[in-house]
Structure formats: structure tokens, C-alpha cells
Structure 1
């Protein structure tokens, strides 16, 4: 099998929810969700970014839940920022789950590109500790604490505001140009992440915030789990101009598998086959080249295509790429090598 390195998953949420059953969930699975160790092994999942994410508290009108039940057009309001005092305990619980997974011996939390390559070669899952939405980082001192704990990737926002910037709302059809750019604290976060060589993730960030990061950062620009706006005009997807900016930085985009971001009409109906995913990949390759495209599944955080229902089916996608005319070398780059190379450019060896 061709090994797969994945740009984004939300498995740690399920680990927290599993409580005393977490070890069984991780090592044996329970038949739910998209990830567990047996299905990772079956699909050639060699590693990826494990996201720490704080959900918005449910309100009387849970807009996100409503969105997941309907098809476009829609434009949902941004939920309010989650206070750090609420986000931090949740984030620490998820970090603890990833460390428990490491204690099983089947996974290693990697802090350098060399550790990633060694872990994959030794047939363990190579995990990167990532924070999606920086509410658990109330200041730059806390960023250093998280870095010491192993944090190597940060998305300043999820789809809501933080003290650092503004996320895009869930909207279709919509431009990603939906609000103001980074705050002064957000600009300081970018500079400090560059100093610490923490990767900055542009997925969920609005267009003006994207431009601010591009102007400030000296690292490759990366969107870990996004699709092409030209194919599916969701607020969450990247315009051709943004793709060109990423390409000029020698950066990377990981293709999101979520059907609502892939479908040209934004629909959440079951998606059969890989034709639409291949259209996105073709478009991304046109702008980013063979070294700038990767995978960012959003496993355990979104609805998956019918033929890519969980991690055990990853090789189906790779086989579809080869049948589409991608050579094995290109498939290996998209599946794994491009992530390792961009992280080497970001973190150093």
C-alpha cells in the first residue's frame, strides 16, 4: 500500500467522549466514526495532524446542527468566541488523549520532520499535535507552554472569531472575503509561530486574515483541509488567487474530503465515486504543482463520500488517482511525501 499522511482529523473528540472506553476505541474500534487503529492499518494511514478543537456551546438555535441537515443556499452567523477559561480544560483533555494513544506504543507524537520519517518507517502512527482555533492559547506565554508540550501546528481560528482573527462562516455560495483581518494579537501570534517554527494553518481563516498571514509569515503557507472555490463556491474553500499566493510561498493545500465542501452545489447528499474529488485535485495541481497538493480528510469531523466512508478505504482514493492518469510518483507525493517535505521546509530537519 502507498502510505497516507493526513492533514486533519477530529478523532480526539471521540476519545474524550469515550471516557473509560477510550483505549478500546483506539486499539479495537467500536464501529462508529471514521478512525481507529485497525481501520488506519487497513487503509495505509501512516500519520497525520490530530486536532484539538473546542466546540461552541449549544444554544437555543444550534445553527451548525441545522446546517448539517440542509442543503444550500445558506449563510449561518458566526458563533461567538469561546473564552479561554472554557477552551483550555477541553483542549488539555484532548491533548491527554493523544498522549494516552502514544502510551499504547502504536503511535508517536512527532516534533521534527526526522521523527515523522522515522516513525512512519517503523510502522507506528506519526501524530502531530495541532490546535484548530486558538482559544486555548490566551497569550504568547501560553503558546510557548503548548510548544513545550509538543504543539507544532496552529490554526488561529475555527469558523468563529478569536482574539487573533476571524473565521469564515458556513455559507454557500459565498466568497471567503467575509470580514476583517488579523488583530494585533493575531499578527504577534504569526511572528511568534515563525520564531518557534510552528506551522500556521490557514483553513477556516477568512480572506483578509489569509492575506495578513501571507504578508507576515516567512514560512510556507499551508491550508490543511480545504478545497477549490472554483469547483465548489463555499466560504471555506480557496480562491484561485489564494492558491497562487500559496504556490508562490512553496506551500501546500490538503484536499478536504467533506462532501459539503467538495460538491459543486454544496450538497450533503451521499457522494459516490471519486470524479468530484479528482476535479478538485486537478484544479489544485494546476495552481500548486505536483509538490503543493496533499490530503486533509477531516475524518471524524465531517460527512465523508460513500466510497471513502472511513480510513480503511483510503487506498480506494489512491487507486482512483492512478486510474485517472496520475503516475505512482505523483500519487505518493499527494498521499504522503508532500506533507513531509513542506513540514521539513517549515520546521527544519
Structure 2
């Protein structure tokens, strides 16, 4: 097994901790129902992860039957004032954890990231999953940057001031609707100027192509799957994979069961083997230097044979069994993410 520390592209651990009675204790000492806490992260060898700030929708829809599958209607847009409050409070929680929990730190730079990878501390890269907390005129973007935000997904799977998110539909194309608004295009340009990653996860195909045209930075899709392996609307087509590779970017394979299991049942189970197949597909199709981990821990249904973050070494072992070399595994586990962050930040 490689001893390279891992970087994971997406988790919703802050959302889970925001509901805990004592989030510091829950994170530092461990929580039975968590996918990520500090003890588990250390056991797994997780060096850093993108810790998402996410604003819940007021309306949550059940899946509706579709043509041979299902669809989740888009939730309504959320109020910016409320989203800004939740965003700020969640960032406050992140910084409180970094101040009170030994061995946990906020990552704002490549030097911070390398320090975590070398020391064994767990690094948190602050990420906005959906930019509802960003003012439509970008008036608070510099404040958010000062608070550590280094990655922004302009949309989640709902509309906002910056664009429209992709429907969750199986089977379905990622071409589900409109792309970026004028404000969204301004946000992409502003992020590139500041060295903030623009995450294309949850974007419609139209939005994805707009980002590819607006930005010279490597394209990043932090948590998704391969459409050829599972025709879910949130997964990337081969044409999109080509574009990510041509930009020097990365595709993070999520562990969310509906996104990796080729099954018309929204409650279908998946396995570690399914995740490995998606990783191998990207590696074979566009090169191992363009695929990374993007678990969606604490925010998705994870296969039982992964369980939580401590299942990551088993996934890497499975990749070795599929013919990945030590160098390949190091790229998937850590080096590809580090390269893209070095080029973007």
C-alpha cells in the first residue's frame, strides 16, 4: 500500500457537525454515525479534504418516476440573506475547529497543504457548494477569500443568482437546462483572478462548457461519476472528460451510490468495486493524471464495503489489484489534486 497521504475532493462534514450538540468534541473524539472525524481520518491516512459549506433547501423533493428510472425535481432557490448567514456561521465553525482541535488546520495555500501532508495533520480546504452566500455583485467575495475560501461551486442542483444546477435524473443527460448567468460568468472570472478553484460539480452541461470557455485554469469537477458507466445526469460524458483532460484538470469520483450504480432504482446499492470501475474508466480513457477521489462523505449514501473514510485504503488496494502501479495510486490519492491546486492557487 502506498504511504502517500490522501486528498479527498468533497465532504459535507461541516453540515453534519453544525447539527451536533458539541461539534468540537464530536470531531476531535469521534462520532459513531460520522463518515469523517479526526480519529477516523488519521486511521485512514487522509491528509486533506475539501470541507464544503452548504445551505440546505427549504423544500426537499422525493424522487419521481421517470422514463425507465427516476428524477428529483430542482428545489427552489434559497434566500441570499439566509444563505449568507449560514455560510458565515459554517465558516466560523470551521475556524473554531481549527483553533480548538489539535492536528486540524485550515488550508489557504499550497504551503499549508504541504505542511499537512508532511506532518500528519488533517487539512481542511474551505469550499462553497453552491454560491448562494456570495453576493450577486461579488461584494463579499474578498471577505470570503480572507476567511479561507479557496474553492467555489457556483451552483448546486437548484437555481441561484449565478446559474442553474443540473437535475438529478436517471437515465439522463447532463444537458438539463440553462447554464451561467451574467453574474455567474463574472464569478468565474473573479475566482480565476484570485486563485479560487471553480468547481463544475452539479453544473448543467451548458454551464460546464461556459466555464471551460471563460477560464484558463484546469477544469475541476470535484465529485461526480462517468456517464458511460452510469447514465446519471450528474455524471460526465466522454466529451466532458476530454475537456477536463485537455485543460490539465481533474475529475473526482464520488462514492454516492446512485451515481456509481447503473440501476434505475434511486435506492440501489453500490459497492467499492463500482467506484473502482469509474476511477479505472477515467484513467484508461484520458489518463490516470486526471482522476482523483471525491467521496461526498457525510453527504451521500456510501457503499457498505467502504463504510466511511477508513475504507479509503481498501479502495486503493482494489485499484492495485486492477493493475494500478504505486505511482498511479499516488497520483489518484494525492498528487493530481496537489498539481491542480498548485496551478490554480
The bucket for the TM-score relative to the shorter chain is over 0.9
Task: Give yes or no for the alignment of 1:310 onto 2:308.
Answer: yes
Task: Give yes or no for the alignment of 1:87 onto 2:78.
Answer: no
Contact 1:234 1:266 in 2 (8 A): no
Cα distance, 1:15 vs structure 2: 1.2
Contact 2:228 2:237 in 1 (8 A): yes
Return closer, same or farther for 1:88/1:69 CA change in 2, 3 Å cut-off.
farther
Return closer, same or farther for 1:266/1:150 CA change in 2, 3 Å cut-off.
farther
Cα distance, 1:118 vs structure 2: 1.4
Cα distance, 1:158 vs structure 2: 0.4
Of 198-207 and 35-44, the range deviating more from structure 2: 35-44
1:103-114 mapped onto 2 (5 Å cutoff): 103=99, 104-114=101-111
Q: Deviations over 1:184-236 (max 9, x none)?
A: 11111111111101000000000001111000011100000011011001111
- 1:292 matched residue in structure 2: 290
Cα distance, 1:100 vs structure 2: 1.4
Cα distance, 1:343 vs structure 2: 0.4
Cα distance, 1:275 vs structure 2: 2.5
Cα distance, 1:266 vs structure 2: 4.9
- 1:282 matched residue in structure 2: 280
Q: Distance in 1 between matches of 2:253 and 2:90?
A: 24
1:135-174 mapped onto 2 (5 Å cutoff): 135-138=132-135, 139-174=137-172
Stretches of structure 2 lacking an aligned partner (at least 5 in a row): none
Q: Deviations over 1:43-64 (max 9, x none)?
A: 1111110000001013xxx31x
Q: Deviations over 1:243-270 (max 9, x none)?
A: 1011110000111011110001254333
| Alignment equivalent of 2:318, drawn from 317, 320, 335 | 320
TM (norm. structure 2) is 0.95
Partner-residue secondary structure (3-state), 1:17:
coil
| Alignment equivalent of 2:122, drawn from 116, 120, 125 | 125
Partner-residue secondary structure (3-state), 2:341:
helix
Stretches of structure 1 lacking an aligned partner (at least 5 in a row): none
- 1:269 matched residue in structure 2: 268
Number of residue pairs the alignment of both structures matches: 340
Q: Distance in 1 between matches of 2:125 and 2:150?
A: 7
Contact 1:291 1:333 in 2 (8 A): yes
Cα distance, 1:30 vs structure 2: 2.2
Which of structure 1's runs of 4+ aligned residues deviate more than 4 A?
none
Cα distance, 1:80 vs structure 2: 1.2
Q: Deviations over 1:20-61 (max 9, x none)?
A: x11111011220021111111111111110000001013xxx
Partner-residue secondary structure (3-state), 1:140:
coil
Task: Give yes or no for the alignment of 1:98 onto 2:99.
Answer: no
- 1:244 matched residue in structure 2: 242
TM (norm. structure 1) is 0.94
Q: Distance in 2 between matches of 1:143 and 1:235?
A: 30
RMSD: 1.8
1:2-13 mapped onto 2 (5 Å cutoff): 2-13=4-15
